[in-house]
Amino acid sequence: MLDKNGIEIKTGDVVEITGAYFKNDNGFYYVERSAGDPGWSGSDHSLRKISKRGKISKAKHNICFWPISISTNSFEIRVTAKAWNQEHAAIEVKTDIDRSEIAEYFQEKAEGMDEQIKYYTWNFGETSETTLESKRIKAHFEKVANMILAEA
């Protein structure tokens, strides 16, 4: 998926959403998951809120998706918000924000896979699809962390 300037949005990028119907959806995010990532079956981007200085938000409601998904119990508001977002909301990749905390996050996710891989290897074997998929996910997280550090 491309941003408003035609730049490919990928996992690890920092993006800014503007013009969204709900004020809370506007702001800076990092891309946590993208279509095609190992272990991610979604066709959208999973985003997590981040500050202008690169600090990952600890707020309870810090997740967004692109394209923006609308979760409300009012059909009328959902239809209105969806139409508004299709017409007005925009996403842009930002390159001038410190991503060191994001790189750390992905490195920790990769390291956190070790116990799971060990468990799957013990129970299902080294060549089982479950073990191999866990290894692909770990390698992906490491690749994202290294890519961010290389671009810094």
What does the pLDDT look like over 50-68, one tens digit per residue?
Answer: 999 999 999 888 999 999 9
Q: For residue 4, is it within any domain?
A: no
User: Do 48 and 81 have their domain in common?
Assistant: yes
Q: Is residue 6 part of a domain?
A: no
Residue 2 lies in a domain: no
Count of structural domains within the chain: 2
**CB-based burial of residue 29 (10 Å sphere; 0-12 exposed, 13-18 middle, 19+ buried)?**
buried
Q: Is residue 42 very low, low, confident or very high in pLDDT (cuts 50, 70, 90)?
A: confident
Number of H helices, E strands in the chain: 3, 5
Using CA atoms of 46, 49, 50, 51 in order, give the dihedral in degrees to the nearest 10. 150
Please give the single-letter amino acid code of residue 75: F
Task: Let me know whether 81 and 130 are in one domain.
Answer: no
Residues above pLDDT 90, as percent of the chain: 95
Residues 111 and 60 in one domain: no
With 80 as the cut, is the pLDDT of residue 144 above it? yes
pLDDT over 90 at 38, yes or no: yes
* pLDDT band (50, 70, 90) for residue 152: confident
Same-domain status, 43 and 72: yes
Query: Virtual CA dihedral for 143, 145, 150, 152, nearest 10 degrees?
Result: 160
67 belongs to a structural domain: yes
Whether residue 45 is found in the same domain as residue 84:
yes
Q: Which domain holds residue 122?
A: 100-151
Residue pLDDT, tens place only, 66-109: 999 999 999 999 999 999 999 999 999 999 999 999 999 999 99
